[in-house]
Structure 1
């Protein structure tokens, strides 16, 4: 059984042009693009900072981009070398498939590649039944993971993303799911793969951006009648990784063009800067009744953030510390905050903590202080 299928929920036989190869030069500032997508977003993969958005918080059908959550839940809860027996339910699903047959056995790893590369709905059901016991139990696991990630506008009804009432997410939350999933090296490797041979099958990715966009390293396509053409893309250049989402595009070309436009916009308008190092010393706070008169304070967290040229030029830092702290002082006590403000807007913050211990003065310490003063006064000039 061999076949090359470039399809998602429906067969997509539309050819993709080579337009993406001619990218703009790094450093050339771009204006926010006008794109032919119903909703879209670009975020920084490291911090989650939003770099571009268009109606990014509206609930929408997301088609097979659903499988991003299916994939990460399966990877986190399964053994990739497990043998999975395909059920009749999985083998009979419609739309994009890898042509699984009831009773056939593949490893969980192979099924995940079939699901992520070729968007196999049959593979998604087989994965769900294996991990969850039933599809319904697995969908509950997907929703539990969404809740764990703090998502408020995401609801899963299936592991494959075919149009069902009540199955939705937003560009922002889909980007945040992707950001989380890409932190898993197994997931990241799968979604960056262009082709793969598994049992009796040659798989070729449905993700046109992997071949057309320089630096693209993921993630997932989607296409249903309700959702339109959808695409989640990850791209990395010089260690700067960003994630784009476009939903409800009219064609494969339009979703690729829209993805290119917003990725170019982000890469050419933003650069990552290290604003603060973890444990970076920031000053001193006075200590009342301590063996030392002050204590060193440091940043709790490091901050590395993508900034536009304008933001970098107008960046302000505000350090707020306690006037004093009573002894005894323990290491790691929060004593203030440091904030970074660009164009009047707070863009990052870290708490500030004590870096050392300062014991409280005892009676003997005060007595020695008095003696020191007396000897200094009594010492002849």
Structure 2
């Protein structure tokens, strides 16, 4: 079965394209899980400290925030960016996470790895396990810090890092941390400011992570949300990365409109009833043509003949219908 959804907007857009001066980048849409635009977005390199979002999400998923850690000689291998915790210090997982994501503390990354899975080596195994689960086919992780002088570092591409960031942003603890501009340490030893300048310079920014090594150069991943559009931008070796992220977000927000294709709940598609666990939206431009095809309970959405969504559907069952009816009655 094939359904043609012809969507014609009444607004017109005239924009000068924001120029990218760097190696590679991607603009990723969180709703459709697709690339809106990019340059060499599948090309891998060392990604420096933006790989700490992988470290953070594993630590968050496998620890309680109030768990106390005694700092040991694991931090001896930390160099570069550090928050200067000391051996025998007592510090919570929460403080380590904020030190990792706000100040890019390599010492925090190493201690989180040790505290989470018992050793740095075991932690790195789990990093690559999650990369495989998320199908980050152009990525390989070697350490929890992103340092790349003693080995190849953490290798990835803009698209993979956007997919990883999308996964991380499903966690409310992660979102709270990366959105924090100033954090007061629980141990009473001062405060940390977030290195992500975009939080101050762009009100729609919801967080991100900075990175830099001599090998990787500047790397940056950020997230912004406006008028229902939820985007992630990743840049590699871009000298004006903060300005580019801000300008590119604004360009895309003006150029595209978020259009709801299907509502959460019950939807009729070619005389069949299917269950959607959430609203299905696409970011579309004027004159875009959307086609919908269901093959063996698999939904394929195409924009201008390019598949942007592939989603497994569930057929209508009475218990699901009752759930959504009650939900509407209770919550409106």
| TM-score greater than 0.5 by the shorter chain | yes
Stretch moving more, 45-54 or 208-217: 45-54
User: Against the structure 1 CA distance between its residues 78 and 31, is the aligned structure 2 distance closer, same or farther, given a 3 Å change threshold?
Assistant: same
CA–CA separation in structure 2 for the residues paired with 1:235 and 1:179: 11
- In the TM superposition, residue 219 of structure 1 has moved relative to its aligned partner by 1.0
User: Against the structure 1 CA distance between its residues 52 and 31, is the aligned structure 2 distance closer, same or farther, given a 3 Å change threshold?
Assistant: farther
Could you report, residue by residue, the CA deviation over 1:308-360 in whole angstroms, capped at 9, with x for unpaired residues?
Answer: 323xx342445568xxxxxxxxxxxx5x6665443333334556765479xxx
Asked whether the equivalents of residues 339 and 349 of structure 1 are also in contact (C-alpha less than 8 Å), the reply is yes
Which SS does the other structure have where 2:237 is aligned?
Answer: strand
Q: Which residue in 2 is equivalent to 1:263?
A: 249
**Residue 34 of structure 1, aligned match among 19, 26, 29:** 19
- In the TM superposition, residue 42 of structure 1 has moved relative to its aligned partner by 1.0
Q: Which residue in 2 is equivalent to 1:307?
A: 283
Q: Which residue in 1 is equivalent to 2:326?
A: none
- In the TM superposition, residue 265 of structure 1 has moved relative to its aligned partner by 2.5
- In the TM superposition, residue 257 of structure 1 has moved relative to its aligned partner by 1.9
CA–CA separation in structure 1 for the residues paired with 2:94 and 2:294: 51
User: Against the structure 1 CA distance between its residues 320 and 82, is the aligned structure 2 distance closer, same or farther, given a 3 Å change threshold?
Assistant: closer
- In the TM superposition, residue 29 of structure 1 has moved relative to its aligned partner by 4.3
Alignment of 1:17-28 (within 5 A): none
Asked whether the equivalents of residues 275 and 316 of structure 2 are also in contact (C-alpha less than 8 Å), the reply is no
- In the TM superposition, residue 128 of structure 1 has moved relative to its aligned partner by 0.7
Q: Which has the higher contact order (CA 8 A, sep 6+)?
A: 2
User: Against the structure 1 CA distance between its residues 319 and 94, is the aligned structure 2 distance closer, same or farther, given a 3 Å change threshold?
Assistant: closer
Which SS does the other structure have where 1:280 is aligned?
Answer: strand
Which SS does the other structure have where 1:36 is aligned?
Answer: coil
Alignment of 1:1-381 (within 5 A): 29-90=14-75, 93-163=78-148, 164-165=151-152, 167-198=154-185, 199=187, 200-250=189-239, 254-277=240-263, 278-284=265-271, 297-301=272-276, 304-310=280-286, 313-318=287-292, 339-348=300-309, 355=316
Which SS does the other structure have where 1:183 is aligned?
Answer: coil
Gapped regions of structure 1 (runs ≥ 5): 1-25, 285-296, 322-333, 358-381
Stretch moving more, 264-273 or 71-80: 264-273
Asked whether the equivalents of residues 86 and 103 of structure 1 are also in contact (C-alpha less than 8 Å), the reply is yes
Moved over 6 A (4+): none
Asked whether the equivalents of residues 146 and 153 of structure 2 are also in contact (C-alpha less than 8 Å), the reply is no
Q: Which residue in 2 is equivalent to 1:377?
A: none
Asked whether the equivalents of residues 32 and 309 of structure 2 are also in contact (C-alpha less than 8 Å), the reply is no
CA–CA separation in structure 2 for the residues paired with 1:237 and 1:27: 19
- In the TM superposition, residue 129 of structure 1 has moved relative to its aligned partner by 0.8
CA–CA separation in structure 1 for the residues paired with 2:67 and 2:155: 30
CA–CA separation in structure 1 for the residues paired with 2:63 and 2:314: 40
- In the TM superposition, residue 209 of structure 1 has moved relative to its aligned partner by 0.6
CA–CA separation in structure 2 for the residues paired with 1:125 and 1:337: 42
Bigger Rg, structure 1 or 2: 1
CA–CA separation in structure 2 for the residues paired with 1:148 and 1:264: 32
Query: How many residues are paired up?
Result: 302
RMSD value, Cα: 2.4
TM-score for the superposition, normalised by structure 1? 0.73
TM-score for the superposition, normalised by structure 2? 0.83
